[in-house]
Chain A
Amino acid sequence: MQRRELLKTFAVGSLAGAANLHSLSFAAQPTTPLVVVFLRGGADSLHIAAPVEDRDYIAARPPELRILSSGATPGIRLPKGFTTELDCRIHPAAAPLLDLFQSGHAQLLHACGLKHATRSHFVAQEILEANTSSANERILSSTPGWLTPYIKANTEKPQTLPFVATSAGQMRSLQGLRSGLSLTGELRWGINLTGEAQAKSVLESLYVGTPMSDPLMQCAQDTLRQLSLLESKAPKTGSAIAAYTPSKDIKYNTENYEWQHAVQTVAQLIRMDIGLQVACVDFGGWDTHEYQTGRINNLVRQWASNVRALFDDVQAASKDVTIVVMSEFGRRLRSNSSNGTDHGHAGALWTLDSRKRKLLPDTQWPGLKNEQLDQGLDLQSTADVKQILDSIAKQTLLG
């Protein structure tokens, strides 16, 4: 991509300012793969990290929808709270993350959200994932994914895999890009071509032509190229692609097949050294309008265990990685009659960084008194999530 085009892309985008762009082509230090974990459905950040003894927090929810300071399963106290005067704890099921907070690899930013806050999942996801901060439907629908310009900014090297998305269909955050990999389930089952060599030569002869004007042609040609790259680089047992067996001290959570293999695929690809820049991993199920207690407990356990395992797995191979965890919005402070919570505004961002960089600003905790809430309902946003995501992408992907 030409530098001028890139500048144009960023100009309509939401990057904080053009001042930093001069450094784009002179990467200061090697980049790190960025893993974006999207907790789809609106994760209740107030049930994952909270000032447990705040009176308004206690008043707004029954104990089963709160993190507690005592009892059978108290929350885990963060070494450095997001508001100094209060006891800040994370959900007990997030225990695997604790020592990463102690070591400085993990960070948390609470009370961040969209400038154009919305209680619509689909609008919020669209704004978060498109490379614009506009909430205008027409602008949104024609804007590429927020990660797209970063990947395009790095000149494409042959024999590399720019991105992986662990979903069958296209991921909105990557819209406008093709030459990456989409994959669900185990990597070893996802890269062989039916009909093998003969089929490959037939497909190559059927799918010739100018790909730019035809999305099918482009996708087909990229698919053939990426599959043969992966086939040549993936570890084998005999002639078959080997199953992935992480070392014993890496503790992946195996309760959710899709989620487990999504993170393991990412770990494998980073370890394979094929130039992976971005991994987009969805982990859904967070729309807890009902029966939140048990659901959050399961979700947080699976989430925290597997981002931790992914981090350890990559570190064990002496590779770098940055993991950022986000959700389209947080949830209502007050619970509803279904033992759940409805859609809210601000939520939280989490990062794990192998280089212990400070990727998130300190939380400006807005408080939970009625007059401190957004529209009297929701946690107020004190940080623009899109600006922060862009700064993380810049630091990790552009160096």
Chain B
Amino acid sequence: MSIEALERLTFGAKRAEIDAVQKNGLTAWIQEQLHPKQGDPVLDEVLRSAVLKMQYGASEDWGAVNEYRPLGSLQKTTQELWPLTDGQTKMHYAERMRPLNELQVARTLRAVYSKWQIQELMVDFWLNHFNVHAGDASIAVAMPTFERECIRQHGLGNFAQMLSGVAQSTPMLIFLNNRSSRTGAPNENFARELFELHTLGKQHYLNDLYSKWKQVPGADKGAPKGYIDQDVYEAARAFTGWVIEDGRGLGGNTQLPKTGQFTYLESWHDPYQKRVLAQDFDPFSPAMADGKKVLLLLAEHPGTALHLCEKLCRRFVADIPPNSLVTSSAKVWQDNIKHPQQIARVLAHIFASQEFTQALKSPNGKKLKRPLELAASFVRKLELPFAPSMGLVNEIQHTGQRLYLWPTPDGHPDVTEYWLTTQTMRRRWMFPWALMDNWWATGVIAPEHLSKGFALPLDEIALLKHHCELLVGPSKFNDIWTSLVKTLNIPNKRILGADNGEFNNLRHTLAYVGMSPAFQWK
């Protein structure tokens, strides 16, 4: 089971990872992964030396550009990048959107090279959970900070802390419009999705009760089981004044500075008494106290534990997660509600559970690789050269995974049914071939990449068998190999020259292995 678990918990297990797990056991590997202490020198070097093309034609306002640039915005703050949003400064649109493209290619590099694979999978999980569509420059420039300081920082940490960061983050304040919400007629967008998507979930939306808060089960004891529209309206009031410094006018001659950072605007806040989740809020509370109280009520609500644990189990265990595991995970979640490693503890519980082990053996527990996982696992298992490529990012997008560009706040669906259509199938089959033939400038696959450690003269068949087994593992090797031998008339032995042209056959046959059913599942 260890190898199956490893496939589930990585972007494709590499030979070295499989060896380590076979030697030291899965539990030790998981424990290390859940507490990533040291750095990651390999990935750091990859990110430091990576370059991405910038190319556009000349206009009357700028000259033509055609050059490779490092991924310079990943470490920058929102304030440093905010000038890219200034319409007064003339620049090509590609310059304004550059931070988004750097993040997109960095995601592919991290998937392939990161030592901390569970952490990377959790970054993907949380970026979906707190989904923001970054197709707008003002959000794009704030995404590096959002990913660094909200998502990565707390991805294995404490949920309440992450939630608090997200609620004050520039991308969320723009995407769900809280930045323009003010007393009188507040904007409900953020408040509604905070309840429905970020915390309690739609299963706790007691729509039929609408405004009858006293009838919500548990409300009489101050512990309502779910929320109603009235909670959304009141919470929207609580968050009025949570805005960003986007330069907007405040009346008279005053205006907000232009830094893109969070600020609290007292004059926009609705200070009067409120009632959220059967709790009374005093009028005229201190700055931001109303909003913070809403966040804490939601973060610590048992309904949130159930909603989040169900999502975690759906991601890692099965499309229809076992109830018993959701319930026991929610208990671990609540028991560690203030713990700085709350999320890591819940994950450790899930991965050590009977249900997880069962799911890895069951047809109902299958999880399809997401397109990024499909591409990354092909590269990782064959240890192919891999460079930043917007071509690959775009293909991943057309295969249904829109990195940073899912349009609605719910994030991608997490069930096989969504990921399987004729379009995604056709494009999934394209990935291995395109990577092998370097269609998207991810890197030329030269003879030496596939023949390392093999004696001359090279036997093509031995090479093929070796790499085929790396891709699908020993248990699935035979079926696929037998089928390929038959269809392609593969002989028992064939000597390869050093000429790259002769490698076409080899590359394409390995691409077929990447197109096989076995390679589609995690």
Contact = CB atoms under 8 A, between A and B. Distances in A.
Nearest to A217: B517
Contact of B410 (A122, A206, A289): A122
B494 interface: no
A174 B496 CA distance: 49
A122 B407 contact: no
Contacts of A290: 177, 180, 187, 189
Q: Which of A203, A215, A216 has the most CB of B within 10 A?
A: A216
A202 B484 contact: yes
Contact of B188 (A165, A191, A202, A343): A343
B87 interface: no
A183 B363 CA distance: 28
A184 B423 contact: yes
A193 B429 contact: yes
Contacts of B480: 206
Interface in A130-157: 135, 137
A336 B422 contact: no
A285 interface: yes
Interface residues of B, number: 63
Contacts of A213: 363
B189 A342 contact: yes
B186 interface: yes
Given A119-B229, A222-B422, A340 B512 contact: no
Contacts of B176: 289
Contacts of B386: none
A335 B408 CA distance: 21
A215 B184 CA distance: 51
A354 B229 CA distance: 42
B497 to A, nearest CB: 22
Interface residues of A, number: 62
Interface in B462-481: 480
Contacts of B192: 119-120, 342-343
Interface in A105-133: 116, 118-123
A199 B421 CA distance: 19
Given A227-B426, A284-B408, A194 B433 contact: yes
Given A119-B192, A290-B187, A334-B185, A169 B410 contact: no
Given A206-B512, A336-B187, A336-B188, A170 B417 contact: yes
Interface stretch (B15-23, B70-78, B205-213, B292-300): B205-213
Contacts of B455: none
Contacts of B185: 334-337
Contacts of B203: 137
B187 A194 contact: no
Interface in A152-171: 165, 167-170
A71 B358 CA distance: 68
B502 to A, nearest CB: 17
A338 interface: yes
Contact of B211 (A165, A168, A183, A375): A375
A167 B188 CA distance: 29
A168 to B, nearest CB: 4
A46 B189 CA distance: 19
A195 interface: yes
B360 interface: no
B207 A120 contact: yes
B180 A168 contact: no
A120 B487 contact: no
A291 to B, nearest CB: 8
Interface in A214-268: 214-217, 219-220, 222-223, 226-227
Contact of A223 (B205, B412, B422, B520): B422
A201 interface: yes
B420 A219 contact: yes
Interface in B135-179: 176-177
B408 A336 contact: no
Interface in B499-522: 508, 511-512, 515-517, 520-521
A121 B483 CA distance: 47
Given A137-B203, A206-B517, A219-B425, A41 B408 contact: yes
B299 to A, nearest CB: 20
A168 B400 contact: yes
Contact of A195 (B196, B412, B508, B520): B508
Contacts of A394: none
Interface in B408-451: 408, 410, 412-413, 416-426, 429-430, 433-434
A181 B422 contact: yes
Contacts of B96: none
A124 to B, nearest CB: 10
Interface string A333-367: 01111111011000000000000000000000000
Contacts of B425: 219-220, 223
B398 interface: yes
B452 interface: no
Nearest to B205: A120
Nearest to B508: A195
25 contacts: A40-B407, A41-B408, A119-B192, A119-B207, A122-B197, A169-B412, A170-B419, A182-B421, A183-B422, A193-B426, A199-B433, A199-B512, A202-B484, A202-B515, A206-B512, A206-B515, A214-B363, A216-B416, A216-B420, A223-B425, A223-B426, A226-B422, A335-B185, A337-B185, A338-B187
Given A184-B423, A201-B487, A202-B488, 4 more contacts: A118-B207, A216-B520, A290-B177, A342-B187
